[in-house]
Amino acid sequence: MSLMENDITHDAPDWLTAEHSTGTTIMAVEFADGVVFGADSRTSTGTYVANRVTDKLTQISEKIYCCRSGSAADTQAIADYVKLFLDLQENETDEEPTVEVASRIFQQLCYSNRDMLSASIICAGWDKNKGGQVYCLPLGGMCVRMPFAIGGSGSTYIYGHCDNVYKEGMSEEDCLKFVANAVSLAMSRDGSSGGMIRLAVLTKDGCRRLNIPGNELPTFWSK
């Protein structure tokens, strides 16, 4: 064994050798006029917080975004590929891409490379055919449209909360509160989620971004 392998690889703490991960909480909800989605902002390398203000809401086209969890490198690369394919399609057809097409490209990439990737994606957006849509793509490449979707390590703490709070026909304001509260609850319990909450509202008029700083998060009983 070389000196470097012995001194660095074997004896080093996990944050020196672990891959960057968006171990995280991501969420998206459909409402009548579009979608609301949000995420925390912590990127970790093992137990070390590598970035406190990561933006996990990635634009794919003008009215389609994705929320990323898993390996930061894997999810960034997949999002770049999907953006490229949608740009090519839009140039060839002279029409805005649909959310379903974007989600199926995500599915193809994630499923075809499922043994090599660590990527869980929520694809959300608005198009003229079906309005606001949310597609959940967990590890392995399955793709399912859902009225709301949660993902990442923090999501395991909030399934019961989300099932209890979600109602059909929620307004934009209700959805914003729903996402902010759910992500904040997950952040308070999941060590891989933290920082601030980034929110976005996507409708036919475009995307509106919102931020909730770490010192202004909903606190519930703990306040």
Give the catalytic positions in this structure. 24
φ, ψ dihedrals at 59, nearest 5°: -75, 130
Distance CA 78, CA 112 (A): 12
Q: Are 129 and 141 in contact (CB under 8 A)?
A: no
